[in-house]
Structure 1
């Protein structure tokens, strides 16, 4: 049985390198350049993993040997069996993360393919609120805030792709201030999270934002 070891953002890195290598193969004839790009693609993928077994590294490095679109498609399809899905979560667990929201509207969890999630999120249109649930070190972290469409394109904080953005504002309550004093932290993020999850290649900015909010 396949042991999952590839997280969603790591799989996105693999997809990105596969696409880049395919484009290079179609447009570059210089063999020395191609070999350099092949090596760099494999190295970029390996660098995304803090630990790999010998077999896992060998499997990932196969990308440097492919020639055809079929080869790359088969490679990506094969790796899907090794995807480490978003940890199992229930409706009750989500509700406990947002205790003040007695009428919390949660998406149908059965309709979500958790293999391709780095973070779970949804928008409550009625309240213009964005909810994010992120797994970290065996537990779930939940944050919520107001979401305001900008109708403009820019770079998302989480996935760094150029896309239509929304401004996500999270209210905070600094521990050093009085209970009645609030401040807010805001960032531009993707208007819809599905595409963001499909493109995110680094969890650093997402985690930094979450923990800044929770301070």
Structure 2
């Protein structure tokens, strides 16, 4: 039985690094430069999996030996069985995460590829709300907030990709000591409107986890 150990954002990172190597193999004639890129690719990938078992590291370092387009495609395809799936949530679980939304619109969960998402998100256009579900330290949590489309391209704070974004803002549940009853704090940032595209590009979960922690307190 295959033991999964690669999360979606890590797979995206590997894909990004091997993409740089693949481009170098195609466009750079200096073999020393290509070898330097190979070394960089291997080092960065292994740095991401410092606690991986030796057999897992052996699988990952194969990236440094890739040469042809077929090699790169075969390598990435070979990693897919090792992807850690996002927890497969049910409609009932989602409603429990957002109990105040009695008419919560649930996305079609049957169409989600749980191996290739870092977070689950969807929009409710009728209420201008965005919902985010994430597995934070082994616990599935949900946050909701208002979204305002920017109607122009900007950089998503989660995946750093330049594209169609919206300003997402949520009310923080954390309260300073001795705060007044009407204390209010909103946490906001610009993020991709299309979460499936964001999930294809996100390579680091630091900003996502920091944002969620700010909201849930």
TM-score (norm. length: structure 2): 0.95
Q: 1:180 Cα shift?
A: 3.1
**Which stretch of the first structure deviates more once superposed, 183-192 or 73-82?**
183-192
Q: Which residue of 2 aligns with 1:203?
A: 205
Q: 1:183 Cα shift?
A: 2.3
Structure-2 change in CA distance of 1:10 and 1:174 (3 Å): closer
Q: Which residue of 2 aligns with 1:130?
A: 130
Residues 175, 183 of structure 2: 8 Å contact kept: no
Aligned-pair Cα RMSD in Å: 1.2
Structure-2 change in CA distance of 1:34 and 1:9 (3 Å): same
Alignment of structure 1 residues 79-98 onto 2, 5 Å: 79-98=79-98
Aligned counterparts of 2:158 and 2:51: Cα–Cα separation in 1: 23
Q: Secondary structure at the match of 2:79?
A: helix
1:169-212 CA-partner distances (Å, limit 9, x unpaired): 11235423333332211100011100100000000000001111
Q: Which residue of 2 aligns with 1:212?
A: 214
Aligned counterparts of 1:170 and 1:2: Cα–Cα separation in 2: 39
Aligned counterparts of 2:86 and 2:142: Cα–Cα separation in 1: 14
Gaps of 5+ in 1: none
List 4+ stretches of structure 1 deviating above 4 A. none
**Which stretch of the first structure deviates more once superposed, 83-92 or 3-12?**
83-92
Aligned counterparts of 1:95 and 1:178: Cα–Cα separation in 2: 30
Aligned counterparts of 2:172 and 2:32: Cα–Cα separation in 1: 54
Q: 1:133 Cα shift?
A: 0.4
Q: Which residue of 1 aligns with 2:53?
A: 53
1:46-80 CA-partner distances (Å, limit 9, x unpaired): 11124111111011100111110000000101100
Q: Secondary structure at the match of 2:143?
A: strand
Q: Which residue of 2 aligns with 1:64?
A: 64
Residues 174, 216 of structure 2: 8 Å contact kept: no
Residues 174, 182 of structure 1: 8 Å contact kept: no
TM-score (norm. length: structure 1): 0.96
Gaps of 5+ in 2: none
